Amino acid sequence: LFSNIAQAELRMHVIDVGQAEAILLELNQQAILVDAGTEDTDDDRYEKKLFEYLDAFFASNTKFENTLHSVIVSHPHKDHTKNLEAIFNRYTVNNLIDGGDETGSGIRDVRKARKLAAEKGVKYYSIFANEIKRRTLLKEWRTEIKDTSDVNIRFLSGGRICNDENNASLVMRIDYKKKSLLLVGDAEEDDLDRNHPGTVGCGGLLYRLVNPSVSYPKLLNVDVFKAGHHGAKNGTFDYFMRSVTPQYTVISAGSPETRSTGNNFHAWFFGHPNEKAVAAFEKYTIAERPEKTVLTMTGPKKTMERQIKKAIYSTVWDGDVVVSICNNSKIQINTECN
Q: Mapped to the 3 state alphabet, what secondary structure does the chain carry?
A: CCCCCCCEEEEEEECCCCCCCCEEEECCCCEEEECCCCCCCCCCHHHHHHHHHHHHHHHHCHHHCCEECEEECCCCCHHHHCCHHHHHHHCEECEEEECCCCCCCCHHHHHHHHHHHHHHCCEEEECEHHHCCCCCCCHHHHHHHHHHHCCEEEEEECECCCCCHHHHCCEEEEEECCEEEEECCCCCCCCCCCCCCCCCCCCCHHHHHCCCCCCCHHHHCCCEEECHHHHCCCCCCHHHHHHHCCCEEEECCCCCCCCCCCCCCCHHHHCCCEHHHHHHHHHHCCCEEEEEEEEEEEECCEEEEEEEEECEEEHHHHCCEEEEEECCCCEEECCCCC
At 47-69, the pLDDT tens digits run: 999 999 999 999 999 999 999 99
The model's confidence at residue 45, banded by pLDDT at 50, 70 and 90, is confident
Beta bridge partners of 322: 13
Residue 259's pLDDT is 56
For the chain, give the percent of residues with pLDDT over 70.
93
Assess whether pLDDT exceeds 90 at residue 254: no
Residue 336's pLDDT is 81
Average pLDDT, the chain: 91
At 135-186, the pLDDT tens digits run: 899 999 999 999 999 999 999 999 999 999 999 999 999 999 999 999 999 9
> Measured between alpha carbons, how far is 88 from 86 in angstroms, rounded to an integer?
5
At 232-243, the pLDDT tens digits run: 988 999 999 999
Whole-angstrom CA distances from 140 to 20, 123, 137, 174 are 31, 12, 9, 16
Nearest to 108 by CA among 77, 67, 139: 77
Q: What is the mean pLDDT of residues 272-289?
A: 93
At 3-42, the pLDDT tens digits run: 444 445 899 999 999 989 999 999 999 999 999 999 887 7
Assess whether pLDDT exceeds 80 at residue 270: no
> Measured between alpha carbons, how far is 61 from 217 in angstroms, rounded to an integer?
36
Assess whether pLDDT exceeds 50 at residue 263: yes
Residue 297's pLDDT is 77
At 71-115, the pLDDT tens digits run: 999 999 999 999 999 999 999 999 999 999 999 999 999 999 999
Residue 267's pLDDT is 66
- Using alpha carbons only, give the angle 165, 320, 159 rounded to the nearest 5 degrees: 15
The model's confidence at residue 261, banded by pLDDT at 50, 70 and 90, is low
